[in-house]
Amino acid sequence: MLKAVNSEPVTPAVSWSFEYNPPMGGAAGEAFTNTLASSGMHPAAVLAREAIQNSVDARSKGEAKVGVRFLAKSLVRAEKAQFIAVSGLGTVKSRANALKISQPNCLKTLGEAAKPLNLLYIDDYNTTGLEGDPTDPDSKFYRFLLSLGDGSKEHSKEHTGGSYGFGKSVYSSNSAILSMFAYSRTVDGDGKPLSLLFGCGYFRKHKFEDAHYTGRAWFGVDTTPEGGLQIVEPLLNEDADRVAADLGFDAREVHEKGTSVLIVDAVVDTDEILKGVEDWWWPRLIRNELDVTVVDSKGKESFPRPKKREDLKPFIDAFYLADGQSPPNNKTDFRKSFLKVDDLALGVAGFKLLEKNRKDEYAVPEERLDSVALIRAPLMVVAYYRPWNAQNPPVVGTFFADEDIDDILRSAEPPAHDRWDPDARRLQDATGQSRAIVDRVLRAIKRNLRASQGAASPPPPPRPKKLTMLERTLANFLTPAKKGAQPPAVEPSSAPINLFYDEEPRAEAVGDKLRLTAAFSVKLKAEEDLGDMIARVRITCPVIEDGQAGDDLRLTISSSATVEPDPIKDGWSRFSLTQSSVKFVCESELYDPLWTVKFVPEIEPVGKD
């Protein structure tokens, strides 16, 4: 730790130190900036998502609301010259050729007084700051600025947003020279007030003056012992406060904890940041658990107002439905509570029918029609989920995950936290329960969206009897089955297909669970003068919720025919049908004995071979 050598306010020698390439190799500086570079989102949106998430995760106990400010500054002439001198950018410029930083950047124009140097400060409030002993690998300072891929938050008991340790990369990746400074007011390992200031550069691996470097660079006090490992320490307390002020950071009171990050040569627009805040953080904003201010380089203050965004209003309405603040009418507004799995609550979804505006257009952009905003405990929109084609009438939805599965969903997210992946490596467990839960949630979202969409649809026109295109023979069995119960009679139909049961659907006990089994056969009617015919089949087993079909149980299905996915109708399969019967044997996944389920085989002709 640094100590003052006398009572005079003499700042220790501070400069940029570049990390020598260690004998056993190490992470290059680019590893800290590339992780979130290909998320597919606008860079400003990624910055808004990750920077606020870092602050929300650092919320002080007892504080209901986190504050975040994005402040842009554009320096010229004397202010620019002073900043360059204090920040040591000349040292970075001296090896610019070796660093091969992408153009354009500020290094070539450092000496041009009238050329603006763009800075972006990100300040948070009601947070812990980078607390702990800075030399301790478990401290927030160490994890935030020195480690890479530290997944400590994954094992936290708190419902955090991040869990990979890559969120820091969002700052340097929005700097044209890949550099940032961090200034924090916090407490040390003994709980005493502490100020910290440290700079980081994340450049490419390079060779300079016959020495090899990883590309990582630190702005601090070099305390490397002779012949020892390289050590660069942050400026502390009065020294940190003094240099922070010279770098343009706003002063903090002694007990005002929080962290401020400065992105040097910022390449992101404040208007886009504001839009990104509204797009991804509206759940926390409307819950009044987040305050955000965006200040452009001319000093104009702006505040996110997601409720005034016509394209966000339907999602917000769906959120209020899911959250129980608005009652559903089951015509245009729907609320769907998902069934528990192994005593774990999954969550609730709300769905909103879209209506066209005066311009005969939907306010929601085309890529978000029929999408569902995925939300969990941190109240950030993880994604606008839509792995399917939009249908009519268009709806949007919001799924609010229950805290019971928050840790599971967090583990299902990649470093960019932009989706829930049931195949994520971190979901692996001995039972496969975690992956099954993520898969169940995603399937239930689609099923409930389609059900809401169907309920909101106008009734289809009557189909002509002679031109009917299918026969859907439904055999509905409520389980557990009653002994001796007979299947419901099959209504007569003009379609040339017979369906009959070899084994009626029945529920059997497997431990404390149930499993449904059934076997049926289909063939062409004997009286029909037909050769081979291509037929479609779909077999589902939905759980009955409030008198309506809910989530489908997974089925294992075997057939005596060759069955292939239908290229036209999603969820259906094709096979060749003759006068000889084709048999299907079905077995469901295990399910709760309190559930009521329905076995539904559907067959329709496609045409002749």
Q: What is the pLDDT of residues 323-380, one digit of tens each?
A: 999 999 999 999 999 988 888 999 999 999 999 988 899 999 999 999 999 999 999 9
Q: How far is CA 24 from CA 20, 150, 166, in A?
A: 11, 20, 23
- Give residue 185's identity as a one-letter amino acid code: R
Q: From the centroid of its chain, how far is CA 38?
A: 14
Nearest alpha carbon to residue 48 among 202, 279, 263? 279
Separation between Cα atoms, residue 319 and residue 348, nearest integer Å: 9
Range with the largest mean pLDDT of 9-23, 92-106, 527-541? 92-106
The rounded mean pLDDT for the chain is: 86
pLDDT digits (tens, 9 = 90+) for 272-321: 999 999 999 999 999 999 999 999 999 999 999 999 999 999 999 999 99
Confidence of residue 487 (pLDDT cuts 50, 70, 90): very low
Instruction: Let me know: does 259 contact 127? Beta carbons within 8 Å.
Output: yes
Mean pLDDT of 383-409: 95
pLDDT band with cut points at 50, 70 and 90 for residue 448: very high
Least confident of 149-163, 360-374, 421-435: 149-163
* pLDDT higher than 90, residue 14: yes
Question: Which residue carries 């505006």 as its tokens?
Answer: 357
Tokens of 46: 């990624």
Residue 560: CB atoms within 10 Å:
13
Half-sphere exposure of 558 (CA within 13 A, CB side): 4
Looking at residue 340, what is its pLDDT?
86
Confidence (pLDDT) at 254: 77
DSSP string, 111-155: T-TTS-EEEEEEEEESB--S-S-TTSTTSHHHHHHT-SS--GGGG
* Share above pLDDT 90 across residues of the chain, in percent, rounded to a whole number: 66
Nearest to 55 by CA among 5, 124, 112: 124
- Residue 132 pLDDT > 70: yes
Task: Report the chain's terminal Cα–Cα distance, integer Å.
Answer: 82
Token representation of residue 541: 């087993």
- Which positions ≥6 away from 91 have C-beta within 8 Å? 15, 16
The pLDDT, as a whole number, for residue 497 is 84
**pLDDT value at residue 592:** 79
What CA–CA distance (Å, rounded) separates 121 from 259?
Answer: 10
What's residue 7's pLDDT?
Answer: 47
The span from the CA of 515 to the CA of 555, in Å, is: 10
Judge whether 469 and 483 are in contact, CB under 8 Å.
Answer: no
Among 337-341, 475-479, 501-505, 603-607, the minimum mean pLDDT is found in 475-479
Q: What is the pTM of this model?
A: 0.77
Q: Smallest Cα–Cα separation from 352: which of 397, 308, 322, 310?
A: 397
pLDDT band at 493 (very low <50, low <70, confident <90, very high): very low
Residue 243 pLDDT > 50: yes
Give me 489's structure tokens.
């009679």
Residue 364 CA: distances (Å) to CA of 27, 152, 389, 393, 533: 42, 38, 15, 13, 43
pLDDT band at 161 (very low <50, low <70, confident <90, very high): very low
452: pLDDT confidence band, cut at 50, 70 and 90?
A: very high
pLDDT tier at 492, thresholds 50, 70, 90: very low
For the packed helices 237-246 and 77-87, what is the interaxial angle rounded to 10 degrees? Answer: 150
- Res. 213: pLDDT tops 50: yes
d(CA 503, CA 518): 5
Q: Which of 384-393, 519-528, 565-574 has the lowest mean pLDDT?
A: 519-528
Contact 226, 220 (CB under 8 A): no
Look at the alpha carbons of 429, 434, 439, 442 in this order and tell me if their dihedral is positive or negative: negative
Helical segments of 137-227, H only: 140-145, 169-172
